[in-house]
Amino acid sequence: MQPLVITAAVTGSLTSTEQTPHLPVTLDEIADAAVTSWQAGAAIIHLHARDDSGVPTQDPEIYRRLVARIRDKGCEAILNISTGSAGGRAQLDERLGCLELAPEVATLDCGSMNFGDERVFENPMTFLRRAAARMRELGVLPELEVFDTGMIENARRLIDEGLIAPPGMWQLCLGVRGGAPADHATVAHMLGRLPAGAHWSLLGIGRHQLELNLASLAWGGHVRTGLEDNVYYLPRQLATSNAQLVNRVTRIAAEIGRPIATPDQARELLGLRGVAAPVS
């Protein structure tokens, strides 16, 4: 059976300490969350950066400091850096500065959408082509984040244009208001639109997190968990850490006989180049 690659999304750009006091927001807290999530079984750490006051940012210098701090703590996990908008704070070109750190993986949000009630998450094809081209030049694997089926078709266009190597690494992001619902019929339809042999993972927002963790385990995919997507462990019971959420996935996977991928096993599976030269 294919080993399970667990991604821990440890802080995000929308979750706040008003929702949970357990959210890591300082550089040291985020770095510690990365280490403990890796120790709990996460092969990939999905990173957003926050400035000294805890506000999300796409400042590449802050990303550099964050990556260096994580590596200095001995964390061997694959680092997956966000090229998102820092909760609407960063313009399109600002979002790509972090790629110059040459992470092993970076997100590519494959289309524009209403994100909640007040914000449009803008990702025009011109931007996607520019981002994909720069990732290709730097040897960065795009994680293709898709929030509805139209975004799958956008990503397939990038593959057809030679900007992304097939079959791709896909993250199906479900349950966001403005995107695809987090139900099994939608998951089945979206999986049917992926290229043959695609590496895929599911994430569910809020109360859908555990349900989609279980669906992904049952259907042979990979799993994303973490406080970015959901702050609760049980109904009305806050999760105390990202590691607690990762530990739940590893426990369930063990009970169904699904082996957990180490970072190096995940690198081999995804065709990654390995850790880049130290960030200076």
Closest CA to 136 of 171, 166, 173: 166
Q: Summarize pLDDT for 79-105 with one digit per residue, the tens.
A: 999 999 999 999 999 999 999 999 999
Query: Residue 236: what pLDDT?
Result: 95
The tokens of 72 are what? 């200095």
Distance CA 203, CA 12 (A): 13
Alpha helix segments (H runs only) across 94-206: 125-138, 149-160, 184-192
pLDDT in tens, 148-206: 999 999 999 999 999 999 999 999 999 999 999 999 999 999 999 999 999 999 999 99
User: Which residues make Cβ contacts (< 8 Å) with residue 140, sequence separation at least 6?
Assistant: 99, 102, 103, 104, 105, 106, 134
Whether the Cβ atoms of residue 45 and residue 227 lie closer than 8 Å to each other: no
Instruction: Tell me phi and psi for residue 2, to 5 degrees.
Output: -60, 130
Q: Which residues pair with 234 in a beta bridge?
A: 237
6-270 belongs to CATH 3.20.20.70: yes
Average pLDDT, the chain: 96
d(CA 11, CA 22): 10
Q: Note the pLDDT of residue 277.
A: 44
- Identify whether the C-beta of residue 232 lies closer than 8 Å to the C-beta of residue 207: yes
The pLDDT value recorded for residue 278 is 42
Q: Residue 141 contacts by C-beta under 8 Å, 6 or more apart in sequence?
A: 104, 105, 106, 135, 169, 270, 271, 272
Closest by CA to 260, choosing from 72, 69, 29, 8, is 8
Torsion, Cα of 47, 167, 218, 253 (10° steps): -50
Closest CA to 33 of 242, 247, 249, 245: 242
Strands 232-234 and 237-238 turn out to be antiparallel
What is the share, in percent, of the chain residues with pLDDT greater than 70?
Answer: 98
CA proximity to 27, closest of 65, 79, 73, 77: 65
Q: String of b and e for 133-155 (b: at least 16 CB within 10 Å)?
A: ebbbeeebbbbbbbbbeebbebb
Q: Where are the domains of the chain?
A: 6-270
Residues 212-270: tens digit of each pLDDT: 999 999 999 999 999 999 999 999 999 999 999 999 999 999 999 999 999 999 999 99
Q: 117 falls in which pLDDT band (50, 70, 90)?
A: confident
When pLDDT is averaged across residues 60-81 and rounded to a whole number, the result is 98
